[in-house]
Amino acid sequence: MSKVLVVTSGKGGVGKTTSTAAIGAALAQTGQTVVVVDFDVGLRNLDLVMGAERRVVYDLINVVNGDAKLAQALIRDKRVEGLSLLAASQTRDKDALTLEGVTRVIEQLREKFDWVVCDSPAGIEKGALLAMYHADLAVVVTNPEVSSVRDSDRIIGMLDSKTAKAERGEKMEKVLLLTRYDQARAARGEMLKVEDVLEILSIPLLGIVPESEEVLRASNLGSPIVISNPLSAPARAYQDAVKRLQGETVTMHIPVERKSIFAKFLSWRVA
């Protein structure tokens, strides 16, 4: 049974694309077939974060319009078996995506893959609505910061009212992925704590991804963090999150960076 997952947040820059790439790659690393789909028409970036920007020939809109077959538009990842990408178009025409078209493509993807991971654009416009419409499960990416929490609350409201599941009267499953978390700052009262965000948004926690330099390194390299540095703290957080998505019970903890004395010495020298 294939599962459609939307990675959404309302606010931009909180880590939707990074998380989509990491979750997609981590799922594929467990041996399942996965496609990550970029819904950010006009501002595609998942291709770049996945390191496939030079291999995009056809995109989601080409498939929707029938200019390309789905198989032609899917880009297979060269590092992880079973992982594919469907890029967004760079057209400026925001109406290029239609509900009928998206419905058709998602149906086809469901037949081919165990997991369809949709990377939502920021905002609450058509693109974000189409990305979430067919989801079975929503991963709400939130930073421990007031504007991000507010926008997530808004998105949760839309997930409960504007999706196919909601229209059928079913309950939309939503989980929280807290990113850029700094445990030390939260402990000092400088940052919202995990419990604060959970209490305010009242959805279950999927994982806590700590703030880390490794995330930028991964995007610089065009490699999902679970591939570029699988032992890093954020990668371990994504691996745990994926186990939870697959139904495993994994104790919740915030992974910490294991720095060697040599690395500490280096960073001290550079600073």
Partner 1 sequence: MNMSLFGFFRARNTAPVARERLQVLLAHERAMIGGSDLAAILREEILAVIAKHVAIDQEKVQVKLDRGGSVSTLEIDIEMPALVGAK
Residues that bind partner 1 (CB under 8 A): 145-146, 149-150, 153-154, 157, 186, 188-193, 196, 200
Measured distance between the N- and C-terminal CA atoms of the chain, rounded to whole angstroms: 51
Q: Give whichever of 189 and 247 is closer to partner 1, judged by the CB atom.
A: 189
> How many CB atoms neighbour CB 20 within 10 A?
30
Exposure of 182 by Cβ count < 10 A (0-12 exposed, 13-18 middle, 19+ buried)? middle
Closest-CA residue to 176 (of 196, 201, 155): 201
Shortest spacing between CB 197 and partner 1, in angstroms: 9
Token pair of 248 as six digits: 């495993």
Exposure of 2 by Cβ count < 10 A (0-12 exposed, 13-18 middle, 19+ buried)? middle
Helix axes 213-221, 233-245, angle to 10 degrees: 80
Measured CA to CA, the distance from residue 201 to residue 178 in angstroms comes to: 11
Q: Which amino acid is at 109?
A: L
Task: Enumerate the H helices of 55-95 as residue ranges.
Answer: 60-65, 70-73
Percent helix, strand and coil across the chain, each to the nearest 5: 45, 15, 40
Closest-CA residue to 52 (of 24, 94, 12): 24
